[in-house]
Amino acid sequence: PSHHGWDGNGAAVVPTPMPKRLDGKVAIVTGGARGIGEAIVRLFVKHGARVVIADIDDAAGEALAAALGPQVSFVRCDVSVEDDVRRAVDLATSRHGGRLDVYCNNAGVLGRQTRAAKSILSFDAGEFDRVLRVNALGAALGMKHAARAMAPRGAGSIVSVASVAGVLGGLGPHAYTASKHAIVGLTKNAACELGAHGVRVNCVSPFGVATPMLINAWRQGHDGAADDDADIDITVPSDQEVEKMEEVVRGLATLKGATLRPRDIAEAVLFLASDESRYISGHNLVVDGGVTTSRNLIG
């Protein structure tokens, strides 16, 4: 039967059920309580995975796990703290018969968006260190402890969420850009080392997705708060803000007619997590509607 909804004669056919691409697999998704991570968790579950959400937001993480059913659980985990990461992996493997098939390094922070924080002339060393610890060290620790669980079984897929700021300059604060380039580099290095153990390591680089992270950054840039050095207080964005943000992103993408959603990032992560990508390792899959290959971002 056709997968396109039409048979050879042009008549509509009943679509075949979607195959479950992570059936029986065990996955950890860091930063899975909301935003892109939440979309990854939901899609993984839909494809038959048992998922552990590892996040610092207990309330949101526990609520999402409860809503998705017994195949999903939550563990409090700050990815920049090695003991937390080790504990999350131990918990996932002990809950699920010693196996870990997929580890998704999605947790990340953008860092302060003030003019001073964003300039190489005045950035704060402490803030730089904080962003690098969560985004870069957090991803490296995830690779370390995931690989320790996966290598003895000779299989596994580690997928990190980097960013187009891990490929191009000028798209985020220096610490964020440095941390995302670090994830792309770590992915290549770890892929070289772990290939011998059957463990694949890849990353996905999104362009702007209208999540709390991006909308709060945008709010700071547009409501005059860019000079205020107060810490970022991330609140749930309104539907209107999401729509406006999506419009801005649509305007920059070369690909027209589609809107970049968290689900689009999750689909790319799913591909790299599943056996369908079994011969792909060390790759950075950019999901950006053509932005990084166009001149649209240049002034």
Phi-psi region at 40: left, alpha or beta (left = phi > 0; alpha = psi -120 to 50): alpha
- Within 106-135, the residues that bind ligand NAD by CB under 6 A are 106-109, 134
**Which pair of structure tokens corresponds to residue 51?**
């998922």
- The one segment of 15-23, 35-43, 144-152, 269-277 that binds ligand NAD by CB under 6 A: 35-43
Question: Could you tell me the two tokens for 294?
Answer: 């166009």
Q: Is 212 in the site for ligand NAD (CB under 6 A)?
A: yes
Tell me how far, at minimum, the Cβ of 123 lies from ligand NAD, in Å: 18
Please select the residue that binds ligand NAD; options are 22, 25, 29, 37, rule is CB under 6 A. Answer: 37
**8 Å CB contact between 37 and 60:** no
Judged by CB under 6 A, which of 27, 89, 199, 209 binds ligand NAD? 209
Q: Which two tokens stand for residue 98?
A: 């010693």
Binding to ligand NAD, residues 222-251 (CB under 6 A)? none
Shortest spacing between CB 224 and ligand NAD, in angstroms: 22
Stretch that binds ligand NAD, among 115-123, 145-153, 203-211, 219-227 (CB under 6 A): 203-211
| Residue positions annotated with a catalytic role | 176
289 binds ligand NAD, rule: CB under 6 A:
no
34: contact with ligand NAD by CB under 6 A: yes
Tell me the two tokens of residue 269.
């992560």
- Which phi and psi angles does 152 have, rounded to 5°? -60, -25
Angstrom distance (rounded) from CA 168 to CA 159: 20
Asked whether the beta carbons of 270 and 22 are under 8 A apart, the reply is: yes
Q: Which one, 30 or 157, has the nearer CB to ligand NAD?
A: 30
Q: Does 55 bind ligand NAD (CB under 6 A)?
A: yes
**How are beta strands 26-30 and 102-105 bridged, if at all?**
parallel
Residues 6+ apart with CB under 8 A from 250: 256, 259, 260, 289
Cβ of 246: how many Cβ atoms within 10 Å?
16
> Least distance (Å) from ligand NAD to the CB of residue 163?
4
> Interface with ligand NAD includes 56 (CB under 6 A)?
yes
Chain residues binding ligand NAD by CB under 6 A are: 30-31, 33-37, 55-57, 77-80, 106-109, 134, 161, 163, 206, 208-209, 211-214
